[in-house]
Amino acid sequence: MFSFTQSHRFLLVVSLGLFSTACDRNNDQPAPVEREAAFARLLVSDAETPALSLVNPAKGTSESFQAKFVGSNLYPTKSGRFALVLNYANNYVQFFDSGIENHNDHAHVVGTPKWATLTSEAAKPTHTYFWGNRIAVFNDGEGSLTLTREEDLHNASVKPKIVKVDVPHHGAVVAYSNNTFAVTEKDGTVASTLPERVKIVDENGTVLKKSVLATKGIHGDAGNGQVALFGHPDGILVVDQEGNQRNITYPASIGKEWLGTVMYNEGADAFYGFSAKAGVYRIDVNQNKITPVLESTQIAAFRVDNEGRDVYALLNDGTLQSFDGKTNAPLRSAKVIDVIDPNAKVKPDMTISRRFIYITQPDKGEIRVVRRGTLTAAEALKVSGKPAKVIVIGAQQDVEKDD
């Protein structure tokens, strides 16, 4: 829950002394941005309570809402209007409505911020995937998918569709543009709960294309509608919607590590893989090639933006590094937070808007705010609890229209 003054605004902590500008800063850099988009919102979870705070950074105001359980992960839907609030430990998924729709060059206010009517209960919901107006969750505890649509989230007569696709395992789902799904499959050759294979199923769980290649364990997934990528110890498994499967081998520099996190950057039309023990790598599906962006064992968090402009790596020493989203070229580097305690129960989380980077500081009760163009400090948003997860929802627009 956020602390307020009598005017119900945040206590804005000007923390310029805690930040340093990038060593390569020059006169060609854009002027610092001082204000967030009027209809952008931050959704922030608390590390110790079920409270969620919906923040309006442009105005410095906040509203508090209570989730059903503490310790949820937060994911924005494809439209940005809703957030999926996923609680693995309690087998529960909720949806939060920002009350704001994005219409490319303007925003619509569509009611007030509130919880959506629809909820979902399934064993150990874990990996999520969003495309168009649709939402999929893979439930580890029962090897099933939960499927729903954004337009049904406020419909009291609609229930999410639960589709059995495999035996229980630590799995994942990627949707294709033809509304079929690449889902992981457990064949038992690996002793852990990680799956070894990928098959393609329809919305009823019927197998359309069987697995072709076996791996030594899969973790990490991403897709662009045409192909689905999965990380495994020997490379990146590529599965297209026709069921063709191939492997992209790792560069020698990655050693014995592997990319257990895979992301797709729609703006740059590029895939990235990440390992805390190896670094950040760009995955070129067309050239069957994996190249390093930042090889390091000191990366605490890695994010790509929605526009394809920049890639960001937050290091354990508190340094934030940015890279060009199309060329991988290093852009800037700046010290933005204190050294991250390796023994901390709750580590900093990071999210990116078109104008700012937001980094949670659980032990300081604040969210650090960094200007994207220069990596210089804006205000730190002071909070009363321990901010844990943070995402951007709503519309990153300044204009509201009625059409």
CATH class of the 66-95+107-351 domain in this structure: mainly beta
Which amino acid appears at position 11 of this protein?
Answer: L
With a threshold of 0.85, does the pTM exceed it? yes
Residues present in the chain in total: 403
Place of tokens 């609890």: 385
* Whether the Cβ atoms of residue 243 and residue 212 lie closer than 8 Å to each other: yes
- Tens place of pLDDT for every residue, the chain, 403 residues? 434 333 334 333 333 333 333 334 444 555 666 799 999 999 999 999 999 999 999 988 889 999 999 999 999 999 999 999 999 999 999 999 999 999 988 999 999 999 999 999 999 999 999 999 999 999 999 999 999 999 999 999 999 999 999 999 999 999 999 999 999 999 999 999 999 999 999 999 999 999 999 999 999 999 999 999 999 999 999 999 999 999 999 999 999 999 999 999 888 889 999 999 999 999 999 999 999 999 999 999 999 988 888 999 999 999 999 999 888 999 999 999 999 999 999 999 999 999 999 999 999 989 999 999 999 989 888 877 899 999 999 999 999 987 6
Say how far apart CA 390 and CA 324 lie, in whole Å: 23
- Residue 129 sits at the vertex; the CA angle it makes with 123 and 130, to the nearest 5 degrees, is 130
Residue 85's H or E segment, with its range, is strand 82-87
Q: What is the DSSP letter of 33?
A: P
> What are 277's two structure tokens?
């023990």
> Of 353, 196, 170, 347, which Cα lies nearest the Cα of 276?
347
> What are 271's two structure tokens?
């895939």
How many CB atoms are located within 10 Å of the residue 25 CB? 15
Say how far apart CA 397 and CA 37 lie, in whole Å: 5
Which amino acid appears at position 188 of this protein?
Answer: G
Q: What Å distances lie between residue 68 and 72, 90, 92, 119, 142, CA to CA?
A: 9, 9, 9, 11, 22
Contacts of residue 377, Cβ cutoff 8 Å, sequence gap at least 6: 14, 15, 16, 18, 19, 336, 368, 369, 370, 371
Helices (H), 119-206: none
Residue 223's H or E segment, with its range, is strand 221-223
Say how far apart CA 114 and CA 289 lie, in whole Å: 45
Burial track 328-361 (b if 16+ CB lie within 10 A, e otherwise): beebbbbbbbeebeeeeebebbbbbbbbbbbbbb
Place of tokens 């610092």: 32
Say how far apart CA 128 and CA 306 lie, in whole Å: 17
Sheet-wide strand order for 12-14: 12-14, 379-382, 366-371, 356-361, 350-352
> Of 303, 301, 388, which Cα lies nearest the Cα of 48?
388
* Whether the Cβ atoms of residue 247 and residue 234 lie closer than 8 Å to each other: yes
Catalogue the E-assigned strands of 117-180.
Answer: 120-121, 125-131, 134-139, 144-149, 161-164, 173-175
> Of 381, 397, 377, which Cα lies nearest the Cα of 60?
381
pLDDT of residue 151: 97
Q: Phi and psi at residue 96, in whole multiples of 5°? A: -110, 135
Contacts of residue 364, Cβ cutoff 8 Å, sequence gap at least 6: none
Kindly list the domain boundaries of the chain, sorted by start residue. Answer: 66-95+107-351
> What are 23's two structure tokens?
């060593």
